Amino acid sequence: MQESVWRDGVASAGHPRLERDLDVDVAIVGGGITGLTTALLLARAGKTVAVLEARRIGDGTTGGTSAHLTVALDQPLATLASRFGEEGARRAVESCRGAIDTIGGLCAGLGVDAEFQRVPAFRWAETPAHVPHLDDEARRYGEAGVLVHRQDGLPFSSLAVAALRFEEQAVFHPLRYLEGLAAAVVSSGAGHVFERTRVTRWDDGRPCRLRTSTGATVTAQEVVLATHSPIGLLVSLHTRLEPLTSYIIVARVDDPPPLGLYFDTAEPYHYVRAVSPARPDLLVIGGADTKHGHEPDTAACYTRLAEFARTRFSVRAIERRWSAILFESVDGLPFIGRLPGAQHVWVSTGYSGTGLTYGTVGAQLLSDLIQGHDNGWAELYSPSRVKPIASARRFVAENASNAYRWVADRLAPAPSDRGAGLPPGDGKLARVGGKKLALYRDPTGKLHAMSPKCTHSGCIVQWNQDDRTWDCPCHGGRFDAEGKVISGPPMADLRRVALDEEEPAPGEREERPAAAQPVQPEPERRGEVG
């Protein structure tokens, strides 16, 4: 898996593994922006908290994003207004504006050198047909209290025919910010941060119980699933989320644009920002999103991104590339609040392309709800909401049939060999002795064989040659080349298989895909390894 630019030069504090049983008020699964911000807010409110991160702080999507902090949402405000009312759309913008203020306040208050800087954001159009949309957005954002201006073009691109300029947006360095949050959680005296501690099962109850990969157990009054897409078999949530892969390159250019955030109105859209105010010539350029686990030629996505960059900038070199997973919700707003059917389990997910802003909204809202405080955003973001919108039924149906196809696919013929001809660093699906396997040959030449069944609910993972990952096409799961979980709903690694292992017994149980099951909210009180 290729690392993002945000790891460069950032020393990890090296938080410990959880080695003994622990009892806290709130257990938080996931050490990204949602989890760590929630932990800090609750610790400051007097709660004892434990953050349980499966890998390192920020190793999930927080550390792989382009780190935009903006109120300019992925969904058009007109669409949100039609689904949530004019007031709902305004509240969504208001909550994001508050989140940016919170991040700036925490950077200053904690003394975190995360390069937080206020900058303008630009949404630009390269086709005249999109200009009326920009005009409508300008009016709506203005009514929501955002300082926004319409302008005719952009300084760096002659292709732009119109743009909106949003004032008072921000950039920052996401991993430095997370390290600062984690240090503050620990130094509060009320919080623990554990790394390399994967939660392998959670149970709702009084208290809630969490089992971990280290063998230690955590008991807690409340549990927050802050793993971007919540871990466990959560049918009513996972079928209302669409996982997308977003591709990112770092380009060194001769003609950097003024410091700011830039995103276009294309479909799929593109986004641009400088890596840092100190290196304006290094641009993070992303987009070209595809359905996660569905793209057979990920190299082509990076190629398209490089072409996009070269058409608009004088590119000296492409210095880095990586991808990140994002989740779009069925109705366009995140799900933040109590898990449907649960008593003491909370979720925050479905951030679309505004993850660091919404992650902070999620932390603020969950912190209030767990403390029993009223919060004016609770109803808007409730995971139990059901919006009677025409696209929702189609969205869920497509998700379900899609999942079923990817499970049924395990029966389709695959090349029958034992990895012959597979070069070092490459992977593929193959049928060996009548059994379908995920094969990977590491750089030393050693062949690794795994079951290709995703441990979440049994879909067949797909090899991603560019990122050297196994990507699950159903609910956004991602595993490294040797089958270890990187992110998404799965809680267990792909099962290792000895190449001389016996054939499966006739009638071996075939899992039914989660997405093919009923989708209305239902009691969900437990998550465990699939």
Residues near ligand FES (CB under 6 A):
454, 456-459, 472, 474-477, 488-490
- φ, ψ for residue 206 (rounded to 5)? -130, 85
Around 424, how many Cα atoms within 13 Å sit in the side-chain half-sphere?
A: 5
Respond yes or no on whether the N-terminal peptide bond of residue 415 is cis (omega within 30° of 0).
no
Smallest gap from residue 479 Cβ to ligand FES (A): 9
Residue 19 to residue 179: CA distance in whole angstroms: 22
Select 177 or 335, whichever has its Cβ closest to ligand FES.
335
Respond yes or no on whether the N-terminal peptide bond of residue 207 is cis (omega within 30° of 0).
yes
Smallest gap from residue 477 Cβ to ligand FES (A): 3
Smallest gap from residue 406 Cβ to ligand FES (A): 8
Smallest gap from residue 250 Cβ to ligand FES (A): 28
SS3 229: coil
Residue 47 to residue 206: CA distance in whole angstroms: 16
Which of the 8 DSSP states describes residue 460? B
Are the CB atoms for 99 and 92 separated by under 8 Å? Answer: no
Smallest gap from residue 458 Cβ to ligand FES (A): 6
Select 359 or 452, whichever has its Cβ closest to ligand FES.
452
SS3 308: helix
The structure tokens 């971990």 sit at 212
Select 334 or 476, whichever has its Cβ closest to ligand FES.
476
Which of the 8 DSSP states describes residue 20? S
Smallest gap from residue 387 Cβ to ligand FES (A): 23
Q: What is the largest CA-CA distance in the chain?
A: 67
Select 51 or 459, whichever has its Cβ closest to ligand FES.
459
Residue 288 to residue 302: CA distance in whole angstroms: 8
Select 180 or 243, whichever has its Cβ closest to ligand FES.
243
Select 466 or 471, whichever has its Cβ closest to ligand FES.
471
Smallest gap from residue 292 Cβ to ligand FES (A): 9
Residue 147 to residue 168: CA distance in whole angstroms: 8
Are the CB atoms for 462 and 438 separated by under 8 Å? Answer: no
Select 103 or 347, whichever has its Cβ closest to ligand FES.
347
